[in-house]
Chains A and B, each alone.
Chain A
């Protein structure tokens, strides 16, 4: 057993253990620090201010990463439905002249409750719950 060999072992072991522990601790410390992106509250989305929509107008808003069609049917009546047509997944739109939801792809019509009125859609649109909190429009998942 030479001293050189002993110091090699010490160097290998010390360096190895030190660097491996560092390589375990680095991800852990990065993990502990919360990311800058606040967690998207997926249960509830503040779509915007009440003023964002005139009565009889609509907009597409994001609910998590799903598009939702937010409709202000009248001064006080709000509706929110999934914006994805049940036929071939096109994005639907609000028709302010007939007060219906329309899918342009194959002329499917839904009423404001999401029920299919005419055209190819096989299923109704999923409806969300809209509440007004102060001057904020809050969308939550239906029961």
Chain B
């Protein structure tokens, strides 16, 4: 209560006096002592009216640094790493205060942080773990929606792996450091970096941010299922669910890996890169199911490729095939559906969309063939018409020759030109 009063008063006074001796002196100091002031220029707190003393304590109105930075005026100096979370939470856990600036802002960051692996270790005295400022930066804290913020979706990976890809740092925790490289080979990173799809998952999407912890085996399907809901549903009703649960294997990860989630393909079902065959013999029921699903998907994918090719060829020839192209998109969707249906691990689930897709592929292939036939018809028609035109031109040429070969009479005599 007093704190709030104090802060509000300090804020009001700062606004009135607009005097800030911390900034004034440190700007003049240069070097390391100036750096925090320079960085603070872009800080979200500065825009909200906060300044150095709001975190570091002291008196910003005194020109005498012995006074302004004295214990008596509440000067804290450099904040120790163990104290950072509590210091931030002084405001960020205070709903009434935070909501003056951001009505929708959550105030449970500290509560989450103490449940995280980082928070637990910090509580145990390990200062090498991440606290607030390691991810949000110290004096240059930006809104999460600010593309320059280290916690902006496109930069999260870099931020987390500053520590997690550092072998020396991770050695004492016995954690692997290949997550960044693995993730950067994944479809999720491709979506984020190439398609600029900010909804694509980064580290925090699966591990949480303030409450960061590795998802446990039992919750992996739920984590993936936040976005891949249909797959989760199908998997939960599939024969693999009880089997994997009994083995203590995380369902999704068993086939798709965790950080290096590659674009799945039919090749996972059968062939030399197949995953199914690692557990299922080719002549077992599971092996046969995998082979059958593979055949179905492959046949649809191949048919759609063929239809795509012929329609594209017709388009290049200048034929209007927008309707066939539209239908092909439908066909592609059936293929996606069929691929998703694999997660039920029963052939019947895959067969239905494959059948629909094959019908579309056949229909669009016919449309492509018709368009190419139409192109040939046009060429033939052009040929016939050109033949008639050239025949006429030949006739005209001969007629001109015969007219002009006539003895002069119609022409003016004394022509000096041929």
Residues of A bordering B, CB below 8 Å? 1, 5-6, 8-9, 11-17, 19-20, 22-24, 27, 65, 87, 89-91, 104-107, 119-122
Contact = CB atoms under 8 A, between A and B. Distances in A.
Given A6-B402, A8-B398, A12-B395, A65 B385 contact: no
Contact of B388 (A1, A5, A20, A65): A20
A12 B391 contact: yes
A12 B388 contact: no
21 contacts: A1-B402, A5-B402, A12-B394, A16-B388, A16-B390, A16-B395, A16-B396, A19-B388, A20-B388, A23-B388, A87-B199, A90-B333, A104-B340, A105-B230, A105-B336, A106-B199, A107-B225, A120-B197, A120-B200, A122-B197, A122-B198
Contacts of B402: 1, 5-6, 9
Interface residues of B, number: 35
* Residue of A5, A6, A11, A104 ringed by the most chain B CB atoms within 10 A: A104
A45 to B, nearest CB: 15
B392 A20 contact: yes
Interface string B304-342: 000000000000000000110010010001001000100
Q: Is the interface of A mostly helix, strand, loop or mixed?
A: helix
A140 to B, nearest CB: 21
B255 interface: no
A91 B333 CA distance: 8
A104 B229 contact: yes
B322 to A, nearest CB: 7
Interface string B211-240: 000000000000001111110000000000
B62 to A, nearest CB: 51
Contacts of A11: 395
A42 B322 CA distance: 15
Given A17-B392, A27-B381, A104-B229, 5 more contacts: A15-B395, A19-B388, A20-B392, A65-B322, A107-B229
